[in-house]
Structure 1
Amino acid sequence: MKLYFTTFFLLFFYFGNAQKQYPKNYFSPPLKIPIILSGTFGELRSNHFHSGIDIKTQGKQGIPIYAPANGYVSRIKVSQYGFGKALYVEHPNGYTTVYAHIKKFAPTIQRYIKAIQYKKENYQTGNLFPKQDKFPLKKGEIIAYTGDTGSSGGPHLHYEIRDNKTEHIINPLLFGIDPKDDKSPTFQKLIAYPLNGQSRVNNSNLKSVISFKKIKDNNYISESITASGIIGFGISVFDRLSEALNKNGIYSLEMKVNGSTVYYHDVETFSFAESKYINLLIDYKHYKTYRDKVQKTHKVNANRLSLYEGLVNNGKITIINGASYNVDIIAKDLKNNVSSVRIPIRGVESNLVFKQKDTTNYKIVAKNFHKFNLNNVTIAFPKNTFYEDCFIDFSITNGIAKIHNPTIPLDKRYTLTFNTSFLNEKQKQQVYIANVTNSKYPRYTSTKKKIDKIYTTTKNLGNYTLLYDTTKPIIKLYNFKDGQWLSKNKTLKVKIKDSKSGIKNYRASIDGKWILMELNHKKGILTYDFTDKKLVGSKHIFKLVVSDNVGNIKKLSATFFKK
């Protein structure tokens, strides 16, 4: 008994104190409204962990963002997608704070950015690195205003804290931001995995969904299962905070076997380089099939995540015939609200005959380069594109190339090439490669062309084909009509659309001079702010040229009057 308590204390000390101590009172919250989150740090997103917290902005844009501490603007980037308008502030304590999906910057920064955009005649700036004395900041100074730019699903502020030395992202809630949270995580699904050909769960070599029920508060117990050999588990779980209904991520996940910890990970910090390994943390095939993220409590060899601590046999459990086990999976949020599920297991040898794995003509040895050709289609996989050896499907049916299905995660891009020597010159101009895994919604895939070839590079398996875009983009005047007086208008808006290959470029001018039009790609609306440039005279000619991804071009010219 004494040994048990000593071991328990050491484990508690290890996991309870592994977290680094961060300055709690150095940074003020970046917004002066109640801090309610719609997204937590380390949340499981598509192909990556969420690198910050998403702060709700009451459904509005334009709320002031304040410098949480002294520092200077070290980086600015304006992009159509991703973070949209983003600002990076370096602080003297060794950390950088990041603000994304901004509507606009503080006036001095805004003028600086617009001058660069007009000089380049491009909305997107790329990364800008102002000198340290260009934009010094004092704590509490307004630096920007919240928005919905880039790949944002609605108005909010994405807020990050990064370590300048390691360049790791760190959970901002560890620095003193304290949203209300008295809710424990919620379990949705429990899965058991036989981890090799000889292993069994409930006399089956296939993964099994295990039912469970609540027994007390946030404690659950599953049905009793039988097993043999090496097995593992996975759990679908989310967390809610007190003042929001959003399904957020948990902070830590632990698994114990008969009271001893064999698996643990948390989302205190990680690097961008390792974020892609989320596809090995989750049951990727299950996610691609059901859109449900099941976190595995066992680690595969190719997984290089640094989140793990104190793994025993990588969280894999060896079940011995005749033995009994209690497996506990414990989920926590950062406020230490806890939910747990207990899984009783009996070791029972199975008499089920081993089933040979399915094979195809296309075997992948992960460490080797592979190139396959079939009916004018070539696929080329660089070394270590796949995380492990496997067999894939490759077939051509009615012009559609099936490259397995999108249930296997890839570490690198591969090249897909179609021979187009049978096309005439006009067809070659109008053709593009589309992902048609979802046949109802073909998606343009970034396409490059050579004389008799068309190719793309992608990290997605699935179905691909050649499609043709023969129509020009559509342009419609949005908030004015041709020949209208716009004396009271603050903006000029135009709607653009291309339903096939998609919009590639647009260029707008007034009276022959380039103007900055910002595209809301979710609504397809281009907006020009009349405060950018002073107009000379009252009659003005607005022109817009829009091209799609195969080179179809649409032009529009309209007259308006404004003094």
Structure 2
Amino acid sequence: MKKFLILVLINFIFLEVKTQEILFPVNPNNQNYLSGNLGELRGSHFHMGIDIKTFGRINEPIYAADDGFVERIFISGTGYGKAIYLKHNNGTKTVYAHLNKFNSELDKYSTSYQYRNKLFKVNLFPGSRFFYKKGDLIGYSGNSGSSGGPHLHFELRDSLDNVYDPLRYGFKEIKDNRNPIIDKISLKTLNINSRINNGFGLKKIDLSKSINLRKNNFIQAKGEIGISVLAYDKLDGFENKVGIKKIRLYVDDTLRVENEINLLSYSETKSVKRYIEYDIFQRNREQFVKLYQDDGNKLNFHQDRDKGVIRIGKNETKKIKVVVFDSFENNNSFTFYLKSNEVSKNRIENFNLFKNEYYNIDNTLVIRSKLKNRDNIEYEENSHLRSIDYSFKDENFKYYLFDLRKNSPSKIILDDSKIDLNFLDPVFIGKKYKIEEDDFSINFSKSSLFDTLYFEFLKDESYKFKNSHPIKNNIVVTLKTKKANDQNKTHIYAINDDDISFVGGKWDENEISFSTNSLLNYKILKDTIKPEIQPKTINQNIISFKIDDKMSGINSYEASINNEWILFEYDNKNKMIISKKKNPNIPFKGKFVLIVSDNAENKSIYNINI
């Protein structure tokens, strides 16, 4: 009943906004083009608006979409960069992000505040001081913050800061007559007894390659099966890939699942990790949208029957149809059949999740072996030696499946090798729990997990965690050392092959703790190298530097002339700082000092007389 009322409220909001006129904020009354849309999957989050192209240019005029007060002004070197939030008479809001600069009065107001408080990053709430009519100039487009190129990020929000789709207004400036594209379909076995083409795990249908599949589209399957889709859209005029608005799954011509993104809350972005096939994303960086509902997926727009799980019994055939829609109701579909008693002649590709001849997916451990002289392998569990027969095989391997809810092997013994496993006790959802080991501890809250967590830990020169499920809310990890460290310069770093990224952490004697929503590989490292300062432009009108730190990263910078503080705007992605005068008519002249500090308290100082 609660979910139904929420949907009614959402539909009421959409009915209200569609009857109103708002102005397209860039180049209105002319055709415009998008590079991103609402709900598009961006790594670990949803894209929360539309990205409007400015053709590689900055300083395109940005206009107020409707009458309203400036509720908020935000300035940062990351995220939305320079952004304006307008609050309108009906309680809704519009957001204009990645700006290069504000109009003259907003620029004067924000710059004055920055100089008074000696801050670059600010979050201002000017009350009702600045009111603009629809069509008034409020700023100029840019590439500030974490933008990947010049554009305007534009959002429509309700009074609770939920974001809804701007394209529901039917802007005449945006045209789309192209059908979306289904690139790939994924099929997943959802329990240990399910099979696809007599195999287990994740399989894919690559529709760009599988021409014959459209003619002979039967796939062998039995048990509980989950389907996911990798799809995208292209609008008129450009080849940018953008997200899909709506996905439907039909089973035997009955609608079983509908995902339609009309509204998103910022609290839902963390659920992207549960909305996609995360195992595929970790290996291939491809984001397949699940058309079944995993435990822990509470997204408001996911509507299904029986959680979208497809059950194939003995001698059964199911007709499967996937339909994708864009924001303009253009659509595309793919139909295939799952059949229990027929071995498919189609070459359905496997997603290779194996590393060191095993992997775990959900609550199942999968081992593979090239053993030819026997059908079973031995494994060690609780200091006892046991054996298990293979569950299925192909032309290259025999595969052995363990239900981690029942078995927790510590070692797999093959003819010429062994696999050491390091699984810890499972962590169950909805409970406060602490893992305490010799080398680390982890504190879980009741809301930390989407589902039961099975993971391994190995300590060598680093602290190595491997987890089977993504983590919903932050956990507190403490790494333990056996020696004293320089605690100001020594911190935790995440390790990915040869790359390191600064995590941080807080020391307590010989233990260092940090919050995270990912269990990765970590090292405790000392940073004694000073940040780099490279002058780019120095004259009486403008001063700019490139500042960088290869290890712990830039923590702060401060500049002055004749001991008078100077505002420098920070562009994190390009590692640049650029001066901004309080009074453009007064030249930079005198003794200039720039101090740059990293996160390990290393400092570099640059001096020059201008």
Give TM-score scaled by structure 1 length.
Answer: 0.88
Q: Helix, strand or coil for the counterpart of 2:273? A: helix
Does the CA-based 8 Å contact 2:557-2:595 persist in structure 1?
A: yes
C-alpha displacement at 1:292, in angstroms? 0.3
> Using the alignment, how far apart are the partners of 1:172 and 1:89 within structure 2?
15
Q: Structure 1: which amino acid aligns with 2:429?
A: A
CA 507–221 in structure 1, closer or farther in 2 if over 3 Å, else same:
farther
Q: Helix, strand or coil for the counterpart of 1:253? A: strand
Question: Which residue among 546, 551, 557 is the counterpart of 1:495?
Answer: 546
Could you give the per-residue CA deviations for residues 276-333 of structure 1, whole angstroms, max 9, x where no partner exists?
2121111011111110001111111311101123x21011112222222211000011
> Counterpart in 2 of 1:556?
606
Question: Which residue among 279, 285, 307 is the counterpart of 1:314?
Answer: 307
CA 60–24 in structure 1, closer or farther in 2 if over 3 Å, else same:
farther
C-alpha displacement at 1:90, in angstroms? 1.0
Q: Structure 2: which amino acid aligns with 1:191?
A: S
CA 264–222 in structure 1, closer or farther in 2 if over 3 Å, else same:
farther
Matches within 5 A, 1:500-539: 500-530=551-581, 532=583, 535=586, 539=589
> Counterpart in 2 of 1:45?
42
Question: Which residue among 169, 188, 191 is the counterpart of 2:186?
Answer: 191
> Using the alignment, how far apart are the partners of 2:14 and 2:152 within structure 1?
26
CA 307–121 in structure 1, closer or farther in 2 if over 3 Å, else same:
same
Q: Helix, strand or coil for the counterpart of 1:506? A: strand
> Counterpart in 1 of 2:227?
233
> Using the alignment, how far apart are the partners of 1:222 and 1:124 within structure 2?
59
Q: Helix, strand or coil for the counterpart of 1:192? A: strand
Matches within 5 A, 1:6-25: 20-21=14-15, 22-23=17-18
Does the CA-based 8 Å contact 2:454-2:469 persist in structure 1?
A: no
Instruction: Count residues with an aligned counterpart.
Output: 526
Question: More displaced, 458-467 or 183-192?
Answer: 183-192
Could you give the per-residue CA deviations for residues 485-522 of structure 1, whole angstroms, max 9, x where no partner exists?
x35xx311122111111100011111111110011112
Question: Which residue among 462, 467, 472 is the counterpart of 2:525?
Answer: 467
Does the CA-based 8 Å contact 1:86-1:100 persist in structure 2?
A: yes
**Is residue 412 of structure 2 the alignment partner of residue 412 of structure 1?**
no
**Is residue 112 of structure 2 the alignment partner of residue 115 of structure 1?**
yes
Question: Which residue among 394, 403, 410 is the counterpart of 2:457?
Answer: 394
Q: Structure 1: which amino acid aligns with 2:125?
A: F
Question: Which residue among 374, 380, 384 is the counterpart of 2:443?
Answer: 380
Does the CA-based 8 Å contact 2:183-2:207 persist in structure 1?
A: no
Which structure 2 segments of 5+ residues have no match?
1-7, 344-389, 393-399, 409-422
**Is residue 98 of structure 2 the alignment partner of residue 101 of structure 1?**
yes
Could you give the per-residue CA deviations for residues 438-471 of structure 1, whole angstroms, max 9, x where no partner exists?
1221000132233433222111111001111111
> Using the alignment, how far apart are the partners of 1:392 and 1:25 within structure 2?
51
> Using the alignment, how far apart are the partners of 2:139 and 2:99 within structure 1?
7
**Is residue 478 of structure 2 the alignment partner of residue 432 of structure 1?**
no
Question: Which residue among 566, 586, 593 is the counterpart of 1:543?
Answer: 593
Does the CA-based 8 Å contact 2:566-2:581 persist in structure 1?
A: no
Q: Structure 2: which amino acid aligns with 1:304?
A: K
C-alpha displacement at 1:224, in angstroms? 0.8
Does the CA-based 8 Å contact 2:184-2:231 persist in structure 1?
A: yes
Does the CA-based 8 Å contact 1:25-1:176 persist in structure 2?
A: no
Could you give the per-residue CA deviations for residues 159-215 of structure 1, whole angstroms, max 9, x where no partner exists?
000111x43211000123241212111122211112122222222232222354799
Give TM-score scaled by structure 2 length.
Answer: 0.81
Question: More displaced, 262-271 or 368-377?
Answer: 368-377
Q: Structure 2: which amino acid aligns with 1:471?
A: I
> Counterpart in 2 of 1:172?
166
CA 539–329 in structure 1, closer or farther in 2 if over 3 Å, else same:
closer
Does the CA-based 8 Å contact 1:253-1:266 persist in structure 2?
A: yes
Quote the RMSD (CA, aligned, Å). Answer: 2.5
> Using the alignment, how far apart are the partners of 2:110 and 2:127 within structure 1?
14
CA 262–190 in structure 1, closer or farther in 2 if over 3 Å, else same:
same
Question: More displaced, 338-347 or 362-371?
Answer: 362-371
Q: Helix, strand or coil for the counterpart of 1:428? A: coil
CA 557–551 in structure 1, closer or farther in 2 if over 3 Å, else same:
same
Does the CA-based 8 Å contact 1:224-1:344 persist in structure 2?
A: yes
Q: Structure 2: which amino acid aligns with 1:147?
A: G
> Counterpart in 1 of 2:359?
none
> Counterpart in 2 of 1:90?
87
Counting aligned pairs with the same residue, the percent is: 30
Question: More displaced, 227-236 or 261-270?
Answer: 227-236
Question: More displaced, 348-357 or 59-68?
Answer: 348-357
Q: Structure 2: which amino acid aligns with 1:414?
A: I
**Is residue 393 of structure 2 the alignment partner of residue 347 of structure 1?**
no
Question: More displaced, 92-101 or 282-291?
Answer: 92-101
> Counterpart in 1 of 2:427?
364
C-alpha displacement at 1:556, in angstroms? 1.4
Does the CA-based 8 Å contact 2:561-2:589 persist in structure 1?
A: no
Does the CA-based 8 Å contact 1:374-1:396 persist in structure 2?
A: no
C-alpha displacement at 1:98, in angstroms? 0.5
CA 239–308 in structure 1, closer or farther in 2 if over 3 Å, else same:
same
**Is residue 126 of structure 2 the alignment partner of residue 130 of structure 1?**
yes
Matches within 5 A, 1:180-329: 180-212=175-207, 223-309=217-303, 311-329=304-322
C-alpha displacement at 1:357, in angstroms? 2.6
> Counterpart in 2 of 1:26?
21
Q: Helix, strand or coil for the counterpart of 1:356? A: strand
> Using the alignment, how far apart are the partners of 1:498 and 1:469 within structure 2?
10
Q: Helix, strand or coil for the counterpart of 1:362? A: coil
CA 221–448 in structure 1, closer or farther in 2 if over 3 Å, else same:
farther
Q: Structure 2: which amino acid aligns with 1:321?
A: K
Q: Helix, strand or coil for the counterpart of 1:109? A: helix
